[in-house]
Amino acid sequence: MMKRTFVTILAAACGLAVTAQNKKVQVYTTAQESSRHIAKTAELNFTEFRQPLETEPCVFIDPANKFQSFTGIGGALTDAAAETFAKLPANKQKEFLTAYFDADKGIGFTIARTNIHSCDFSSGSYTYVADNDKELKSFSIAHDQQYRIPFIKQAIAAAGGKLPLYASPWSPPAWMKDNNSMLQGGKLKAEYRQSWADYYIKFIRAYEAAGIPVWGLSVQNEPMAKQRWESCIFSAEEERDFIKQYLGPTLHKAGMANKKLIAWDHNRDLLYQRASVILNDKDAAKYVWGIGFHWYETWTGGPMQFDNLRLVNQAFPDKNLIFTEGCKEKFSMDSVYNWSLGERYGNSMINDFNNGTVAWTDWNILLDEKGGPNHVGNFCFAPVHADTRTGELIYTNAYYYMGHFSKFIRPGAKRIAASSSRAQLQTTAFQNTDGSIAVVVMNTTDKKIAYRLWLDGKAALTESLPHSIVTLVVR
């Protein structure tokens, strides 16, 4: 057994052909019609099956064709999440951390996002400096020491001591903006561009001094949205110029060239236009690690626009795509068990990965029984809610749907070719660094569908239950 495992690892490392010979398939299932959640439901064997007929549904995988490397899956460690976590009893806090960050007992999150001073999911607006302090001499993260910093530290510990964290600002301080408010959009005043660039550096240094490494940062959360909460408008040209003239050089001067700088950080609808304006400028592009995106373009009534991801991936293959935020809006406790919550996550994740995305970050990792706290009443769903009145945790099926990816696809994995012969079976697949292959198959229909997992002329027969998601692990 040890010898075969070594050969498998060596073959994966050297890019040798992976076959179904002596392989088994472990099946993990979450399904609406049962109480199973990421439960091991079967172990399958491959048998000879050279040429499927059109009447024989298959999911084909081809490890010989590899695509992007996988960075991680995670969620946002916001003020709201931290404040809610602090209200839980100690045993529930431990349960929560294990559920999210333990790869064996939980779903093994491996990346996280946080906010630079306040966002809508804070109990109130605040910054880290005194008004009109252009030199940032008063800069202090004392506010975050109460809830957020202890929470992030516990998350890092639960993840085994390593949890790449990136930070996003929702708005500069009011006095730096032309509308003199952190809310309702507005723009950064020209005379404060350098001060604002310096602010990111101050934040990173302060968090790292507090024991929290910062992996990356985005330029501005949702730069085309005028919101009733913290927001700031940057046109594509304004973001490009801020990157190349201020933020990029300031990061490099501070010795932070290794921090992953993420542009856009907004919806897929304008994704290509924003990417093309910034990345076609070599003086801006040299500072940019990747393009971040959200899923809220569906506010128009249309579906998620995955083709825009594909186009950016094709046009700028040397840059990374990272999903930076998504959640179901307009919270209602009556809907926490709706199966559509998880299916929205599954649909997004499968298509985002198949179009080149390297990392996927959910929005709030935890919210309370009201979908907050949120200082402007913008209450939303999270994969896990805490009823702070009883101390209980409520797991929506979005948590389990994400787990079908995060638990089995680990950092460093490579996406491999995966093709379904039925539109009703959505799929993506990755090969991990240990040689194992994780294939995710989702069925959003009301029908049970028998199909075969096909690899190199052999296939394993299984079935997809109505409204289910499975991960098939080949090893």
The 3-state secondary structure of 277-330, one letter per residue: HHHCCHHHHCCCCEEEEECHHHHHCCCCCHHHHHHHHHHCCCCEEEEEECCCEC
Tokens representing 229 are 């909460």
Would you call 455 helix, strand, or coil by DSSP? strand
Active-site hit among 239, 297, 325, 343: 325
Element (H, E) at 464: strand 458-464
Q: In what order do the strands lie in the sheet with 367-368?
A: 367-368, 384-387, 392-395
| Separation CA 164–CA 113 (nearest Å) | 8
Q: Are 110 and 102 in contact, with CB atoms under 8 Å apart?
A: no
Block residue for tokens 């997004």? 348
- Look at residues 295, 302, 364 and name the one whose alpha carbon lies nearest to residue 331: 364
Block residue for tokens 């690899």? 455
Q: What amino acid occupies position 460?
A: A
Q: Is 463 a catalytic residue?
A: no
- Contacting residues for 219 by C-beta, under 8 A, at least 6 apart: 234, 239, 242, 243, 247, 261, 262, 263, 264, 265
Count of alpha carbons within 13 angstroms of residue 49, beta-carbon side:
21
The 3-state secondary structure of 51-86, one letter per residue: CCCCCCCEEEEEEEEEEEECCEEEEECCHHHHHHHH
| Separation CA 27–CA 440 (nearest Å) | 10
Q: Is 325 a catalytic residue?
A: yes
DSSP assignment of 337-350 equals T-HHHHHHHHHHHH
Active-site hit among 222, 230, 297, 343: 222
| Separation CA 206–CA 85 (nearest Å) | 23
| Separation CA 328–CA 284 (nearest Å) | 33
- Look at residues 163, 193, 222 and name the one whose alpha carbon lies nearest to residue 359: 163
Catalytic residue IDs:
222, 325
